[in-house]
Amino acid sequence: MSDVLAVAEHRRGELRDVSYELVTVGSEVADATGGDLHLAVISGDVDAHAEALNLEGVDAIHTVDHGEEFNHDVYAQVVEQVYDAVDPQVLLTPNSVNGLDYGPAVANALDLTYVSDAVGVEFDGSTLTATREMYSGKVETTTEVEAESVAVSIRSAEWPATETAGDASIEAFDATVDEDAVKSTVKGFEEVGGGDVDITEADVLVSVGRGIEEEENLDLVRDLADALDATLSSSRPIVDNGWLPKNRQVGQSGKVVTPDFYIAIGISGAVQHVAGMKGAENIVAINTDPNAPIYDIADYGIVDDLFEVVPALIEEFEG
């Protein structure tokens, strides 16, 4: 029998989707060996969050009412204490930006083997088998962990959310937070990426990635956007390079878009990019690499050089 402890995630008053997905993975893993699924809900409105997470498959919810927002020093201390009390075989955390900010520290402190960004998890009580991507999604690996204790961070949006109500016990966990060990202060939040255009409103997006190579070449995709009466957006490296402003960035740390047509030009389709555009009605990919992950979600594709295809496409609409 193997128990599982999963740590919920919330931000600015709201539970994040991955919390519901953690319940799905956690109950699968716990059920496989007849163990229990425990959830830790830390900081913020813990009672409301615990109520919302009282879902099928969850056996016990441990709440720790300490501060409003995520602070990694608090999370690290509290998760370690809940872990020691529950004594689970598997610790599950989200592979989110905040998950990356405490998961590895907790795993190291508790001497757990850490497997990050899992897209599949199976556990038979002694061996945990995780599916992970490597080389920017070009290959998948099956990774086995022969360990007493293992911590796995799970990729968001890979598992369905659990929504059915459950009957878990909800209890305040008596954690002791050593304030002297809290050496970071979260001072606030800021929304970035405002400005003149709102790419989330566009019906058609011409989106450009690193395949465009040089800033000068952006004119080519600008011309295409004009010809199609579309809005120009991009993957992250284009914004990192300062070639387009932040408000044009599609993806995890940019905007989530759902246009009728999303035309990805020279974009590989990294998971953090796909997070922002997989909801598009029609996805078109123009990419020289037939193995690029973007083709897994594309509806239409041209496996060819963008510098040949894009001018021809402009010609079609303007010629």
Partner 1 sequence: MKVLVTVKEVAAVEDEFEIDGTAIDEAYLEYDLNEWDDYAIEEGVQISESEDDVEVVSVTIGPERSEETIRMALAKGADRAVRVWDDSLEDAEMLDVEAKTNLLAAVVEEEEPDLVLSGVQADDDGFGATGVSLADEVGFEWAAVVNDLELDVEGGVASVRRELEGGVEELTDVDLPAVLTIQTGINEPRYASLRGIRQAQRKEIKPMTLDDLGLSADVAESDLEIVDMYEPETESDATLFEGSPDETAGQLAEVLRDGGVGQ
Ligand X SMILES: Cc1cc2nc3c(=O)[nH]c(=O)nc-3n(C[C@H](O)[C@H](O)[C@H](O)COP(=O)(O)OP(=O)(O)OC[C@H]3O[C@@H](n4cnc5c(N)ncnc54)[C@H](O)[C@@H]3O)c2cc1C
Give contact residues for ligand X (rule: CB under 6 A). Answer: 97, 209-211, 235-237, 249-254, 266-268, 270, 272-273, 276, 286-289, 292, 305-307
Position 192 contacts partner 1 (CB under 8 A): yes
33 binds partner 1 (CB under 8 A): no
Place of tokens 């009605």: 281
Answer yes or no whether residue 15 interacts with partner 1 by CB under 8 A: no
- Whether the Cβ atoms of residue 228 and residue 206 lie closer than 8 Å to each other: yes
3-state class of 318 per DSSP? helix
Alpha-carbon gap, residue 313 to 103, rounded angstroms: 47
Closest among 29, 38, 37, 22 to 95, alpha carbons compared: 22
The DSSP element (H or E) to which 82 belongs, if any, is helix 72-86
Rank residues 32 and 147 by Cβ distance to partner 1 and give the closer one: 147
Tokens 């905007």 sit at which residue?
A: 255
Q: Which is nearer to partner 1, 164 or 185 (CB)?
A: 185
> What is the nearest approach in angstroms of partner 1 to the Cβ of residue 299?
6
Q: Which stretch binds partner 1 (CB under 8 A): 24-32, 35-43, 47-55, 91-99?
A: 91-99
Q: Smallest gap, in angstroms, from Cβ of residue 13 to ligand X?
A: 23
* Residue (10 or 168) nearer to partner 1, CB: 10
Residues 6+ apart with CB under 8 A from 235: 207, 208, 209, 210, 249, 250, 251, 267, 270, 273
Per CB under 8 A, the segment of 29-37, 40-48, 139-147, 171-179 that binds partner 1 is 139-147
Q: Which is nearer to ligand X, 110 or 309 (CB)?
A: 309
Q: Among ligand X, partner 1, none, what does residue 159 contact (CB within 5–8 Å per kind)?
A: none
Closer by beta carbon to partner 1, 176 or else 185? 185
Burial class (CB in 10 A: 0-12, 13-18, 19+), 309: middle
290 binds, among ligand X, partner 1, none (CB under 5 to 8 A by kind): partner 1
The answer to whether 80 and 72 are in contact (CB under 8 A) is no
97 lines the binding site for partner 1 (CB under 8 A)? yes
Strand pairing class (150-154; 90-94): parallel
- Nearest-angstrom CA–CA distance, 157 and 170: 26
In eight-state DSSP terms, residue 201 is G
Q: Between 36 and 73, whose beta carbon lies closer to partner 1?
A: 73
Kindly tell me which residue out of 28, 101, 122, 223 binds partner 1, with binding defined by CB under 8 A. Answer: 101
**Binding residue for partner 1 (CB under 8 A) from 54, 60, 86, 143?**
143
Does the footprint of partner 1 cover residue 215 (CB under 8 A)?
no
Which structure tokens are listed for 111?
Answer: 């001497």
219-278 binders of partner 1 (CB under 8 A): 227-230, 236-237, 239-242, 246, 252-256, 260-261
**Which CB sits closer to ligand X, 67 or 193?**
193
* Cα gap 289→294, rounded to integer Å: 10
Residue written as token pair 């919810």: 61
